[in-house]
Amino acid sequence: MSQRTVEKVVIAGGGTAGWMAAAALSRLVGRKISVTLVESEEIGTVGVGEATIPTILTINRLLQIPEPDFIKLTSGTFKLGIRFENWRKQGEDYIHSFGDTGKGSWAAGFHHFWLRAKEMGLAEDYGEYCTELKAAEAERFAITSQNKLNYAYHLDASKYGMYLRKLAESSGAKRIEGKIQRVETSLEDGFIEALHLEDGQRIDGDLFIDCTGDGFLRI
Ligand SMILES: Cc1cc2nc3c(=O)[nH]c(=O)nc-3n(C[C@H](O)[C@H](O)[C@H](O)COP(=O)(O)OP(=O)(O)OC[C@H]3O[C@@H](n4cnc5c(N)ncnc54)[C@H](O)[C@@H]3O)c2cc1C
């Protein structure tokens, strides 16, 4: 296996995935590597209203994105869970909340206590012990210093992509407009060597990240 040092990273595709990768690499790894992203305006992005899960807070924290800016720039809103409508039967909804249910102890997880209490006729519905679920049902939400609710966002993916692009470019990532036509691989080890664009440009790199959505770099 090749032991080359990675100095040039090439990202194929500039939707949310591509610009997220570009922003993370250029901001977190810094100028030790060059980051080049190739995307095609003609092909475009999916860019819909995106429902996220709480892990998005981790990437935003790593990228040091201030939450008020993020909400404003992505036309975002907060969510405490995902509602599955007509889940088991018509008219029955189920909210998968992002919260923890109950409080365990060193001896056992909360569900053990709940099952025992249920046998004894003492327990409420399992969801009654989840703050996020109760808040979602009551359509209430707030972020305060005492309030540690688990949450995620619903956002406009195109706007998030544009915001990430700004972050990535301000940290040194370079964008190339064009359609990838062909992938060049090494005869020696089969690894990708370069991308060839329709306009004749050849973009070489040490590491290629496929964010084209349809796995363009699959060879
Ligand atoms: C209606 C709908 C609702 C959805 N809802 C959710 C949701 O709630 N939550 C969720 O997580 N996901 C959701 N998804 C899925 C999610 O939107 C997509 O998976 C995500 O936006 C894809 O982002 P991406 O960056 O991977 O790809 P894309 O946005 O497709 O970006 C691909 C990029 O690759 C470039 N590209 C492709 N081929 C080439 C080429 N040959 N040369 C150069 N560039 C190329 C394009 O120009 C573009 O920049 C939904 C999708 C749809 C359609």
CATH number where 181 lies: 3.50.50.60
Distance CA 172, CA 33 (A): 10
What's the order of all strands across the beta sheet hosting 77-79? Answer: 49-51, 152-156, 77-79
Decide which of 150, 169, 200 is a domain's last residue.
Answer: 150
Residues 115-120: what's their mean pLDDT? 96
Question: Lowest-pLDDT range, 30-34, 73-77, 95-99, 105-109?
Answer: 30-34
Distance CA 86, CA 55 (A): 26
In a domain, 143, yes or no: yes
- 64 and 27 part of one domain: yes
Q: Decide: 155 in ligand 1 pocket, CB within 6 A.
A: no
Q: Decide: 161 in ligand 1 pocket, CB within 6 A.
A: no
- 46 and 88 part of one domain: no
| Total structural domains within the chain | 2
Where does the pLDDT of residue 219 fall: very low under 50, low under 70, confident under 90, or very high at 90 and above?
low
- 159 and 203 part of one domain: yes
Residues β-bridged to residue 77: 154
In a domain, 177, yes or no: yes
Q: Which atom of ligand 1 is nearest to the CA of 53?
A: 11
In a domain, 34, yes or no: yes
Domain span at 53 = 8-75+155-210
Q: Decide: 158 in ligand 1 pocket, CB within 6 A.
A: no
- 135 and 167 part of one domain: no
Where does the pLDDT of residue 4 fall: very low under 50, low under 70, confident under 90, or very high at 90 and above?
confident
Of 176, 181, 212, 219, which is best to mutate to test ligand 1, by the most ligand atoms within 8 angstroms of its C-beta? 212
| CA of residue 158 to ligand 1 center, whole Å | 10
In a domain, 218, yes or no: no
- 66 and 165 part of one domain: yes
Task: Please say if the pLDDT value at position 1 is more than 60.
Answer: no
pTM: 0.88
pLDDT of residue 186: 92
87 DSSP assignment:
S
| CA of residue 29 to ligand 1 center, whole Å | 25
pLDDT of residue 33: 94
- 197 and 140 part of one domain: no
Q: How many other C-beta atoms lie within 10 A of the C-beta of residue 31?
A: 9
In a domain, 58, yes or no: yes
- pLDDT digit string, tens, across residues 22-77: 999 999 998 889 999 999 999 988 878 788 999 999 999 999 999 999 999 999 99
Among 168, 111, 196, CA closest to 208: 196
| CA of residue 133 to ligand 1 center, whole Å | 30
Q: Which atom of ligand 1 is nearest to the CA of 41?
A: 47
Q: Decide: 76 in ligand 1 pocket, CB within 6 A.
A: no
pLDDT of residue 31: 80
- 19 and 42 part of one domain: yes
